[in-house]
Chain A
Amino acid sequence: MLDVADLVTAYGKIEALKGVSLRVESGRITCLLGPNGAGKTTLMMTIAGILQPRRGTVRLDGQELTGLTPARIVAQGVALVPENRLVFPQMSVHENLLAGAYQRRGRGEIASDVERMYARFPRLQERRAQLAGTLSGGEQQMLAVARALMSRPRVLLMDEPSLGLAPLVVAEIFRIVGELNRDGTTIFLVEQNAHMALQVAHHFYLMEQGRVTFSGTPGELAEDEVVQRAYLGARRAAG
C-alpha cells in the first residue's frame, strides 16, 4: 500500500536517510524499530511531506506522494501522529479534534466522528472542554491519535507513541493500536519498545544509521541474533 523507495533525506550536508526502501502492507501493522538517531522520525516526516527528500519516492497505492505539500498528503489519506504528540496546547480537546478534520466538509459527519472518538477514548470525552496543554502525557497521546484519525486516513503513521509514558499507559496505547487495526486501519508504527511491538505488529523493519538493516516477521525478528542482543535482551536486562 505505502511504498518507500531509495529515500534520501538530509539536514544540510548530513544524510539522515541514506537510501531507505520499505513497504507497508494494507490492513496490517508494520513496525519500524531502531535506536535513537537512526532516522525514524526523519522518515516519518519525509513521508508526511514536512521534510523534502533529496532522492527517492514515496507512493501510496502507486500514486506518487513525493513533492506534495503536507496538506495534499493528508488529503491523499496519510496521517501522522508525530513524535512528542504536538497537540495544540491552547485549544480545547474538542477543537483539537475539529482541527484534525480540517480538510473535511460536512459538519454532520465530522460531529459523528468526534462522538466516535469520544466513545473510543472516554478520557477525552471527560476532558473535551479542557485545554490540550493541560492534559497528562498519556491523554495527549490519545488526543494526538484521535486527531489524526479525524482525517479518516487510509494509513496511520505513529512515531513512538509510547515515548515517555508509564507502562500501564503504554499497554493502553498498544491495545488501541491493535483495536484500530482490527477495525481496518493500516498502521505504520515507529517504536523502541520491541517487546510491546512484538505483541501487535505483523511485519518488522529495523533501521540503523539511516539504513534498513532487517526486514522480517515477528518470528524472524525474535530469532535474529543481532536484534535479540540489541533490543530484546537489552530491554529484558533493563526492565
Chain B
Amino acid sequence: MIDFLQNTIDGVMTGASYALLALGFTLIFGVMRRLNLSYGPSIMVGAYLGTLAHLHLAAGPLGVAAVTVAGAVLAGLYVERLCFAPMAAGAGIAAMVSSFAIWMQLEQAAILVLPRHTYPFPPLASATAWLGPFLLRLDQLIMLASALVLALGVQALLYGTRFGLALRAIIGNPTAAHLVGIDVRRATVLAFALASAVGGVAGFLVLASDAQVTPMFGMWATMKGLIAMMIGGLGSIPGALVGGLLLGVVEAQSQWYLGPQLRDLAAYVLLFACLVWRPGGLFGAAPVRDLARGRSL
C-alpha cells in the first residue's frame, strides 16, 4: 500500500510535467486544429540555449530558465512561420509533415552546436523531505505547483480576457472570428508564443530535475505531450492537466509493478483504452462535432 501511494505521488509529480507539455500542445491544437510535431524540439532548442548560457556565462537556474523559455518561444515562432503560417486552410496534413521536417532540422542544429550526447543542466532545488513514510522532492513539488498555476492561468486568460475571447472565437469558428473583426493571424501567433512559453517552462523544470539534457529531449517532449493531450482530449485545458497526471501515475505504477520495459507499453495501452472508450479524449468533444461546425473556409 505504501509502495502504491509512493508510486502515485511520484507519478503525479512526473505527470505534472506531462500536463505542462500537453497544455502547450492543446493550446496550439485548439486554435489551429493542427498538430505541431516540432513542439518538443523547439523546447529542446530553448533548453540547449539555456545549457549554453549555463556553460559559457555561468548562468544560474533562474537565468537558465529565462533563456530556455525565451529560446523555446523564438524557436516556436520560427516553426509557426515555416510550417503553419504559409499553409492554406485545410492543409493540416502538409503543416504536420513540414513540422516533422523542421523537427529533424532543429535536432541536427542542436547537435551541430553541442555535439556531445549529454550536457549538464543546472538543478533547481535538490532538497527532499519525508512526509510520514513518503519521500517528496522539492523540485517536483515546484513542477506540480507550476502545472496547476499555469493551467489555471491559461484558463483564466481564455475565459476572462479579450484576448481569450478572441482565441475561443477562433477555436469555435475561424471564419466567423474573421467576420467579427478579430485579427486571426495575430491572435494565432500570440497563442503559439504562449504555448511555446508554457512548453519552455515545462522543459526547464523537467531538465532541471534530471540535471542533464540530450538531443532526445525533443522527441520525448513531443511524445509525452501528445499522448497526455490525446488522453485528456484535444484542445481541452482540464483535459491536458488530467491526461498528464493520469499518464504519469500509470507509468509510475507500471514501472514499479511490471518493470521499466513495460512502462511505455502501459502508456500506450492507457491511450488506446481512452481512445476506444472516449474517442475525443476524456474531456474532448466527439470528433464528429467539429465536422458540423462548418470549418471548410
Contacts and interface: CB of A to CB of B under 8 A. Distances in A.
Interface of A: 45, 48-50, 69-71, 74-75, 79-80, 82, 84, 86-91, 95, 98-100, 102-103, 147-148, 150-151
B172 interface: yes
Interface in B166-184: 166, 168-169, 171-173, 175-184
Contact of B293 (A69, A75, A89, A151): A89
A88 B169 contact: yes
Contacts of B181: 70-71, 74-75, 102-103, 151
A79 to B, nearest CB: 7
Query: Secondary structure at chain A's binding surface: helix, strand, loop or mixed?
Result: loop
Contact of A71 (B168, B173, B175, B183): B183
Given A50-B297, A88-B173, A71 B178 contact: yes
25 contacts: A48-B178, A48-B179, A50-B297, A70-B178, A71-B182, A71-B184, A74-B179, A82-B179, A86-B294, A88-B173, A88-B176, A89-B172, A89-B293, A90-B171, A91-B169, A99-B166, A99-B169, A99-B180, A100-B180, A102-B166, A102-B180, A102-B182, A147-B180, A148-B179, A151-B181
Contacts, number: 76
B211 interface: no
A160 to B, nearest CB: 13
Given A50-B297, A95-B165, A98-B165, A87 B180 contact: no
Contact of B165 (A50, A82, A99): A99
A86 B169 contact: no
A238 B269 CA distance: 57
B183 A50 contact: no
Most buried by B among A79, A95, A99: A99
Given A50-B297, A99-B169, A102-B166, A82 B176 contact: yes
Given A99-B165, A102-B165, A102-B166, A86 B173 contact: yes
A89 B293 CA distance: 8
A226 to B, nearest CB: 32
B165 A86 contact: no
A84 B297 contact: no
Contacts of A88: 168-169, 172-173, 176-177
Contacts of B165: 95, 98-99, 102
Nearest to A132: B172
A133 to B, nearest CB: 8
A136 to B, nearest CB: 15
Nearest to A98: B165
Contacts of A147: 180
B178 A49 contact: yes
A91 B179 contact: no
Most buried by A among B176, B183, B185: B176
Contacts of B185: 69
A89 B183 CA distance: 20
Contacts of A86: 173, 175-176, 179, 294
A93 B103 CA distance: 41
Contacts of A95: 165, 168
Nearest to A100: B180
A99 B172 CA distance: 12
